[in-house]
Amino acid sequence: MSSSAILTFASNYSLYCDLITFVLGFIGNILNLLVFVQLKCFRDHRITYYFIIDIIAIFINRTVQLFFTISTSFYQNDLYNNSLIGCRARTVLVQAAGNISYTMVYLAAIDQYCSTNYRPCLRQLFTFRFVQRVIIVTVCFWFSINLLFALYLDVHPLYGCNIYNDIWSQYVIYFHYPVLIGIFPITMASIFSLLAYQNVRRIIRRQIPIERRRFDQQITAMVLIRVIFFLLLFTPWVCYRIYSINATTNNFSALQFSISRLVQVITICFVNVQHGIGFYLYIMISSRYRRQVKYVLRKRIWQLCRCTCHKAPNRIFPDNLSTGSNFELQ
């Protein structure tokens, strides 16, 4: 297969993968957001903060990435690899949003470990105010890091948008991607999600209301399944980024460059799948979450739509106070 054929296939694959994962992820994340906002059991729990910020970061990441993909595929204008402004803007927005997203994953694992721990000091460590401050610091940190990262980006006629400064390349190769983006979040997410799972298995020994116990089990399962797929789908992209930055000093042939581009597209697709499958993982592993989704769609959203579409004319009726059901699925 020629290099031009590989590049054409990579471009088409990137477009279709971005469109499919964007649509499925958009639907899933909207449904997640509705459940987290509508149900009191989620609104009153700190873990929802991480989930909501994660969803917002994913929306930013996927929207910007899809914009650049459509620009390249439909208008034959590769803003990322041909324009320095496009290169830096995409890097800051996409990478910062992606970094914030996976940081929320392992922060949720740490929070859930502390909230299910038998030690009172750890259970009281994460408060709503503390979580809000952690999230603000996290957002500021990742945008600052990626702004600095973007300053060292340049556009090469052959290799496109990448880092060509030797000193900054060493930092990126040996610390940024392997440690800050790779080993650290993967290790933190793995360890604390497993510890939280162990805590939940022993939580029956503590005097905790059964509804709270079931909710902790549900949240822990949701965090654990998200961490597992985060490890499986995020690691290949980290490995590719380390390789691509390290390999830019070599003289690539056209065929080698096209193969590298195809590998890049595939690993990015894995990351996009990871961003979009949260809702589908939750309903797959949690029957409780499936019931909560059905409750929100039927009792909340459907009734709201009916009231909006079938408004009765203004009439005066005598007061008739009745006690409705205040049941909310928790």
DSSP string, 13-45: HHHHHHHHHHHHHHHHHHHHHHHHHH-HHHHTS
Q: What is the pTM of this model?
A: 0.84
Return the domain boundaries, the chain. 3-308
Q: How many Cβ atoms are within 10 Å of 264's Cβ, its own excluded?
A: 18
User: In angstroms, rounded to a whole number, what is the distance separating the alpha carbons of residues 136 and 145?
Assistant: 14
- Tokens for 296? 């929100």
Confidence of residue 324 (pLDDT cuts 50, 70, 90): very low
**pLDDT per position as a tens digit, 187-221:** 998 999 999 888 887 766 566 777 878 888 899 89
Percentage of residues in the chain with pLDDT exceeding 70? 86
Out of 1.20.1070.10, 1.10.10.1200, 2.20.28.160, 3.50.50.60, the CATH code matching 3-308 is: 1.20.1070.10
User: In angstroms, rounded to a whole number, what is the distance separating the alpha carbons of residues 30 and 11?
Assistant: 28
Angstrom distances, CA of residue 287 to CA of 41, 214, 217, 218: 16, 12, 12, 9
pLDDT at 248: 55
User: In angstroms, rounded to a whole number, what is the distance separating the alpha carbons of residues 60 and 58?
Assistant: 5
User: In angstroms, rounded to a whole number, what is the distance separating the alpha carbons of residues 263 and 269?
Assistant: 10
Confidence of residue 81 (pLDDT cuts 50, 70, 90): confident
**H-helix or E-strand spanning residue 101:** helix 96-115
Residue 194 sits at the vertex; the CA angle it makes with 190 and 200, to the nearest 5 degrees, is: 150
Cβ pair 104, 54 in contact under 8 A: yes
Q: Supply the Cα-derived Rg of the chain in whole angstroms.
A: 23
pLDDT at 327: 40
**pLDDT per position as a tens digit, 230-276:** 989 988 988 888 787 777 545 667 777 788 888 888 998 999 998 88
pLDDT at 18: 87
Confidence of residue 101 (pLDDT cuts 50, 70, 90): very high
